[in-house]
Structure 1
Amino acid sequence: MKFPHQRLVSALLVLGSLQMSAFTEACSCLQLHPQDAYCHADIVIRAKVVGKKLLKDGPFGTLRYTVKQMKMYKGFDKIKHVQYIYTDSQESSCGVYFDINKYQYLITGSFHNGKVYTGLCSFNERWDRLSLGQKKGINHRYQLGCRCRIKPCFQLPCFVTSKNQCLWTDLLSHFGYPGYQARNYACIEQKEGYCSWYRGMTTRDKTTSNTTDP
């Protein structure tokens, strides 16, 4: 069951993956905290990309990447093992580029008609570039907060307006993305539906902060 804010973010992701107009040769995406990307993805895997083929199934074609799946974190109910990842062949249409036989990647995507699709608006990153907090989030923490809402703050003042929100302030910084919260924190549901940022090494109550931290 998808909650209202999840349906909204999913709709924004779809809109963000479209070209803005015939005169805009760039992909436009809504920036998401990795937890949101995880929660709204159908498939989350760690894999090495071992091959690439251009399929001539449209004006510009579709890239089909062959992957060697190392681990699946989400999507067991949809597919047991991922062999191919599909994406648009054009970066302007949000197609994503993976190096062949070089790195392991975290790949998130959607599942449609038996195929896994991804793009620039999904969260795809080299595994060695992920922080320890992000790896822990992908392994188990992010799923504890999929009923929470991460509220982006673009301009001060910002406030949470419900108990299930965590205020995300990374986007206030001009130093770039991802920021400190995106790399180190997960927004986790606590008792009675309250959500708060969490960064801990053992029990989640040990270093839980309130909804306006860090």
Structure 2
Amino acid sequence: QRFDAFRINFKMKSCLTLLSLLFIFGSQHVDKLTEACSCALSHPQDAYCNSDIVIRAKVVGKKPLKDGPFGTMRYTVKQMKMYKGFNKIQHVQHIYTDASESLCGVKFDINKYQYLITGRVYDGKVYTGLCNFNERWERLSLAQKKGINHRYQLGCNCRIKPCHYLPCFVTSKNECLWTDMLSHFGYPGYQSRHYACIQQKEGYCSWYRGMTSRDKTTINTTDP
């Protein structure tokens, strides 16, 4: 009886140890999956300037492919307008992204919305992901739409410097201090939605906020 009791107790301890190990390794595995896609915050202007392709399109289909170790999703798009990338591709028909969101794959709704899509070109294909700026068109502010149309390209020689903790300072004349992370407790903030960092005639860069129709020529260099 003592032997049977010892054997039962040993089995229970072994099972508890195994469950503990599974929980520990399982938790680590989940953490790795959730932390696999990590993107630095980026102002929409930086997203525009650092992209090969910027288009407005409607996603009309998708097809999973076996490319790569975890697969690729190929989205078929109906391009409405191209804002950047004429020298790369004349007309975008497909967008490629990782099939897994944990690897920064982006998910688009089919036949529902028009999207602003930004991405890079590799071997003649357009690739995008969660770290790129992809948004439903109607969710963009008017200033963001104007920025994508023409303003952002005026500031691609400028540097938007994020400020996460005070004090923050610009260190050169081509920098704009980005303080959304301080004043709006997260992203996106007011500067992201309503400002562009534009290079002025004097050579320095400053924030530009779109004015009303009665004063389109005025540039407010003190805001925000």
TM-score interval, smaller chain: 0.7 to 0.9
SS of the counterpart of 2:47? Answer: helix
TM score, norm. by length of structure 1: 0.86
What is the DSSP-based 3-state SS (H/G/I as helix, E as strand, rest coil) of the residue aligned with 2:33? Answer: coil
Q: How far apart, CA to CA, are the structure 2 residues paired with 1:207 and 1:147?
A: 18
Are residue 161 (structure 1) and residue 165 (structure 2) matched? no
Aligned twin of 2:84: 74
Residue equivalent to 2:62:
52
* Gap runs ≥5 in structure 1: 1-20
Corresponding residue pairs, total: 192
Deviations 1:188-207 (A, max 9, x none): 00023200000123676503
Tell whether the 8 Å contact from 1:186 to 1:197 is kept in structure 2 after alignment.
yes
**Which residue of structure 2 lines up, in the alignment, with residue 25 of structure 1?**
33
Whose Rg is larger? 2
User: Which residue of structure 1 aligns with residue 203 of structure 2?
Assistant: 193
1:206 lines up with 2:214 in the alignment: no
TM-score norm. by structure 2 comes to 0.82
Equivalent residue letter for 1:75: G
The structure 1 residue matched to 2:154, chosen from 129, 144, 148, is 144
1:172 maps to which of 161, 179, 182: 182
Q: 1:181 is matched by which residue type in structure 2?
A: Q
CA 1:97–1:122: 2 relative to 1, 3 Å: same
Contact 1:198 1:204 in 2 (8 A): no
Q: CA deviation at 1:25?
A: 1.0
**Counterpart-to-counterpart distance in 2, 1:72 and 1:32:** 21
Q: Which runs of 5+ in 2 are unaligned?
A: 1-27
Query: Normalized per residue, which structure has more helix?
Result: 2
Which residue of structure 2 lines up, in the alignment, with residue 120 of structure 1?
130
Deviation at 1:102, TM superposition (A): 0.2
Measured after TM superposition, the shift of residue 58 of structure 1 is 2.4
Over the aligned positions, Cα root-mean-square deviation in angstroms equals 1.6
Partner Cα separation in structure 1 for residue 184 and residue 54 of structure 2: 29
C-alpha separation in 1, matches of 2:185 and 2:78: 35
The equivalent residue for 1:96 is: 106
CA–CA distance in structure 2, aligned partners of residues 102 and 40 of structure 1: 27
Distance in structure 1 (CA, Å) of the matches to 2:193 and 2:220: 16
Q: SS state of the match for residue 148, structure 2?
A: helix
Stretch of structure 1 that moved more, 191-200 or 36-45: 191-200
